[in-house]
A and B are shown apart, each in its own frame.
Chain A
Amino acid sequence: MSRAIQREFEDQDEQLGAPQPVLEESASGAVQSEGVNQFGEVDGSIGSNVVPHAMSNKGQSGTELWHHAGGGRGGTGNQPTGDAQLTAPVYKSKPAAGTKPAKAWIEGGTGKVKVVRSYVGVTQGDNGVYKHAPGQTWITWKAKWRIAKHEREHIKKTKELHKTHVQPLEKRVSKYRGIGHSSMDGADEAAAIAALQTHIDWNKSVNDFAADDTTQNTPMGPVDTTDQAKADFYFDFGNKRVKGTDYGHYVNTA
């Protein structure tokens, strides 16, 4: 695996205050693509409209209030599940000449998949009115940390799926990308391009990544339930007085 391929996955870690839209978690998890190239290969962007949400609270300074309480984004991912920015391959070819077959390759700068994941942490302390019940919400340092850890679990899963689906795709593409690299032979130009397309298998790879990322990271999907099942997860411990103020929801780890 080349370093160039690894760089395509950008882990932005905790991102502060980026004005990106956050979609409702109850939205459909269907994978949607933006467009296709001349060969019907997915181009532009792909993803669902489901944002992975945290089940606990832990973040860093400058983060937002918890989405279960007074905030809209604290403890959520910045990107929808399945999200990836795509530059579909542009196939180039030259005709057969004499005894040499037709050849096809991929134009430089195309056939790229860029996956970026980041999340918004939560603030420690008063997080405002709880959304699911009356009362104010207090988040401890431990819970704030645990919420951030949960968001990192979503990113970790996306990285795994990137390794499974996207990195092999990038490897296949890079072999045939640009002049001077390998080319695919064919009886004529169309046949060479078709053979290369079959070998690259662009749509299946990017769609499998988007679909699996959505399945794994969707609310109450495998990442949520696996992480929530861990003994160090956070809970709502109910009423508690903190620094002279009564909070209806004291959120802490067990």
Chain B
Amino acid sequence: MKITLEVASRNGDGIVLRLIAFNDSPKPVDLDRRLLVGPSGVVDGAESWPVSLEPPTKDSQQNIIRLNPRCFYGREREFTVTETTTFHGYLAAKANGFLPEGPANAKHLVQAAAPLRIQASG
């Protein structure tokens, strides 16, 4: 599995980010979308913005998405960046506390996207 964070578009301070989980393996992979965390912004020297997640479904099995080889699943979020902000995204192995940069227990990190550091447009 490959996790990436990319800028989909930008218009001034407005920026659209996509967090992508890409199955680059030759076999199908089951992805729990509750464990795909981000994009989450952290302004330099300040508290982080609330961590981005998706709401879970009532039927927990519906949270599992089968990704065939060379297929991907992702999440798009729009932000307003008025100060230099670093965005993070990652896939965790367990839902047991999520910080912006990674799971509370580092052992639960499957893979993290390279952080995106975004400057304000002004």
Contacts and interface: CB of A to CB of B under 8 A. Distances in A.
A182 to B, nearest CB: 46
Nearest to B76: A238
Contacts of A53: 47
A26 B50 contact: no
B54 A220 contact: no
Contact of B77 (A26, A219, A238, A251): A238
A26 B53 CA distance: 26
Contacts of B42: 220
Nearest to B96: A231
A132 B79 CA distance: 6
Given A225-B99, A229-B99, A235-B53, A134 B48 contact: no
Interface residues of A, number: 31
B55 A134 contact: no
Contacts of A135: 78
A133 B80 contact: yes
Interface residues of B: mostly helix, strand, loop or mixed?
loop
Interface string B33-75: 0000000011101111111111100000000000000000001
A231 B96 CA distance: 5
A55 interface: yes
Size category of the binding interface on chain B = 20 to 34
Contacts of B43: 26
Interface string B2-39: 00000000000010000000000000000000000000
A220 B47 contact: yes
Given A131-B80, A133-B77, A236 B47 contact: no
Contacts of B79: 132-133
A229 B47 CA distance: 14
A224 interface: yes
Contacts of B53: 235-238, 254
Nearest to B40: A236
Contacts of B51: 228, 233, 235-236
Given A133-B80, A228-B48, A229-B98, 11 more contacts: A25-B47, A26-B43, A68-B50, A132-B49, A133-B77, A133-B78, A134-B80, A220-B42, A235-B50, A236-B53, A254-B53
Interface of B: 14, 41-43, 45-55, 75, 77-80, 83, 95-99, 104
